[in-house]
Amino acid sequence: MGKRWCYILGTVILSVGMGMTTFAEIPAYLTESEYNDMLYDNYTEDRGIVVENYPELGYLVYKNSQGREITCNYYKDELVVEKQPYYEMEDRIGYIDEMFPNFEYDPRDSSITSIQAGDSIYIRLNKDGIATYISAYNDYLVRYGKVISFQYNTGETAGLQLQDDQGNVYVYDVGLNTPVTKGSTSTALSAIKTGSWVKVLVCQKILGEGIIDETVQEIVIDNDTRYISNIYRGQVTSVDTFKKVLNLKNAQALGKTNWGAYNSLLRIGLDTTNVAAYLIGNRVSLDYVSRNLKNADGYVYVAAENYKGKENAIKLNFQSKLQTTLEPSLVTYASANTVKLLSGETIYIAEDAIVVRDKRLVDGNSIMVGDTLQAVVTGENKLAIGNILSEKTTGSLEVFRGRIKQIKERESFQFETFSLLQDNTWYYHPTPHTFSIDANTKFYTAEGIVEDGIEAFLDYGDKSEVSNVYTVVAIGDKAYMIIDMPYITESVKGQVYKAADGSIQIKDAYYYHKQQKKWVQYSKKNTGATINLQSNTVILKDGKVVPARSLEEGDIISAMVETNLKDSAGAVNGYIIIVEN
């Protein structure tokens, strides 16, 4: 009996010892009958890593702590299987459920089919060597980094290449059904963009000595906490790596068409961990910049990333002052080191180029045929800055106008016929069109927004809307805005140089001549024009409805206005404003 108690005590000590290794964090619970079986040598136990599992054949193969492969038989109906969920691993990954809301972990009570190659297992066998109990778990870890590339493979996966803050690169095949969220809202895999920062939940399985299989279980995209807020040029006056500050003199920010006003001294943060600095194509250190490039001739181009409200320089490109800012142009050819533009230029790309897409810092390989590229080039036609412009104007938004035929209260309404605004012209369609509405649909009159407008949008009573004419901004058949505004057919276009809540001032102004069917210059002296905004004016930019304060200097706009610009004193009332660049 003493020998048996020594055996039991030794087993418990071994279990505790192995529990400190990668093989076990799973408690070995014993029932009274199991305890008695072990007491009388009717019971054995082991731990290891699953190599293969064949539920249909009733056996699995695992590698034990001595490295031996063991074949273990079981009866599916007599086997108790548990698989440890995340919430029993709080000391290792207890925070994961807070970060990844969609991932479904294996429940504690499970079946033999859930045991997979790479699982860590604790196993009990009866006196005949048949498994009666298996408890398993996986290791989960979180990786956070910037998307270097993301593209769909043939088949059922997409390729994700991720780089963390230490420069380590990880490559994953991501299943097309992998849950993806952004801002606590589920989204599609296509929302992952090159340059985005993401958190990736990875399940690790040990398949053999030195062989670890990693599977992506869920992806959370940063909710626009890191994006390129500005690109500057100027001269470095000082670099303080201790305070993490970069000072520039005569700094200018890149606008939509050219460089902005001078700032005599600009002080921005410095991401000393991730910043990359280049001198005429060669990588240099911050120490080299501080010692040799302060107040140097030429320009330094700086990509500034906004992270939680603070701007940090993350890439510096030192070049000579000989540079040209090109007009945005369509890319007609793109390779790893060369792009050609529709305007005729051939531009050469190297590692030092600052390339931005969707407000994310990317590499030159992200420039593709069909992109519209705003380029700053050196005297050797090397790309110093490449800003890939959004192709959105109205995006999915469309502007309709029609007479209401009927309304289904709080659900939908129908136009008798409708006109669709395209290229500053209303195109008539002699067919009905039905739009859905809900609590998010906004209603406007000449006085501005109507609170609870959907409740007053009825087809009966003294205030019936039947036969009234409205302008509708819609996404597909969903009405986003319903606006009471005049029927406007005149149009102007130009470049914004000043915008406020009450008006927009444009230069290079043109008005559309209906008889000649062409745009005509308003003033040879370029005196410009003013577009007065109304309480029911709608502004469309980048596929969204935006306020006037979202307009930027350099925006090219077209506007549907109340009167022809040539018949005015340079000021017109505008109702539909569309940003075209």
CA-nearest of 299, 330, 285, 157 to 231 is: 299
Q: How confident is the model at residue 21 (pLDDT cuts 50, 70, 90)?
A: very low
Q: Same domain, yes or no, for 49 and 131?
A: yes
**CATH assignment at residue 494:** 2.40.50.320
Give the residue from 166, 186, 221 where a domain finishes: 221
**Residues 155 and 174 reside in one and the same domain:** yes
Does 203 lie in the same domain as 131?
Answer: no
Q: Which secondary-structure segment (H or E) carries 5?
A: helix 2-19
Least-confidence region, from 93-102, 199-208, 238-247, 528-537:
93-102
> What CA–CA distance (Å, rounded) separates 235 from 298?
7
pLDDT, greater one: 280 or 183: 280
| Rounded Cα gap, residues 38 and 9, in angstroms | 11
The answer to whether residue 454 sits within a structural domain is yes
Pairing of strands 383-389, 354-357: parallel
- Shared domain for 423 and 473, answered yes or no, is yes
Burial 383-422 (b: 16+ CB within 10 A, else e): bbbbbbeeeebbeebbbbbbebbebeeeebbbbeebbbbe
Per-residue CA distances from 242 to 245, 270, 272, 404 (Å): 8, 10, 9, 66
Average pLDDT score over the chain? 84
pLDDT band at 319; cut points 50, 70, 90? very high
Other Cβ atoms less than 10 A from the Cβ of 465: the count is: 19
Residue 344 lies in a domain: no
Query: Do 119 and 178 share a domain, yes or no?
Result: no
How many other CB atoms are found less than 10 A from the CB of residue 198? 21
* Chain length of the chain: 581
Whether residue 252 lies inside any domain: the answer is no
Quick one: pLDDT at residue 419? 94
Looking at the structure, tell me whether residues 474 and 497 fall in a common domain.
no
**pLDDT (mean) for 246-259:** 89
Note whether 184 and 102 are same-domain residues. Answer: no
Least confident of 198-207, 377-386, 558-567: 198-207
One domain for residues 132 and 145: no
Asked if residue 297 is part of any domain, the answer here is no
Q: Pick from 137, 167, 186: which residue ends a domain?
A: 137
**478-492 per-residue burial string, b: 16 or more CB within 10 A, e: under 16:** ebbbbbbbeebebbb
Q: How far apart are CA 523 and CA 537, in angstroms?
A: 25
Q: Could you say which of 71, 103, 137 is where a domain stops?
A: 137
Q: What is the rounded distance in angstroms from the CA atom of residue 265 to the CA atom of residue 243?
A: 17
Whichever domain contains 156, its CATH number is 2.40.50.140
Task: Give the pLDDT score at 40.
Answer: 52
Question: Structural domain of residue 73, as residue ranges?
Answer: 44-137
In a domain, 279, yes or no: no
Query: Is 461 within a domain?
Result: yes
575 with 399: CB under 8 angstroms?
no
Structure tokens at 303: 């990509």
Shared-domain flag, residues 536 and 508: yes
First to last CA, the chain: 88
- Give yes or no: residues 126 and 180 share one domain: no
User: Within a domain: residue 287?
Assistant: no
| Range in 66-70, 136-140, 374-378 with the lowest mean pLDDT | 136-140
Whether residue 325 is contained in a domain is answered as: no
Count helices and strands in the chain by DSSP H and E runs? 5, 44
In the predicted model, is pLDDT for residue 395 greater than 70? Answer: no
Give pLDDT, residue 482.
Answer: 95
Whether residues 515 and 549 fall in one domain: yes
Question: Residue 81, Cβ neighbours under 10 Å: how many?
Answer: 20
Query: Do 157 and 133 sit in the same domain of this protein?
Result: no
Query: For the chain, how many structural domains are there in total?
Result: 4
Strand partners, 110: 81
Which residues are CB-contacts of 205 (< 8 A; sequence separation ≥ 6)? 116, 117, 118, 119, 138, 139, 212, 213, 214, 215
Q: How confident is the model at residue 501 (pLDDT cuts 50, 70, 90)?
A: confident
pLDDT at position 266 over 90: yes
Lowest mean pLDDT among 24-33, 189-198, 345-354: 24-33
On the 0-12 / 13-18 / 19+ scale of CB atoms within 10 A, 249 is: middle
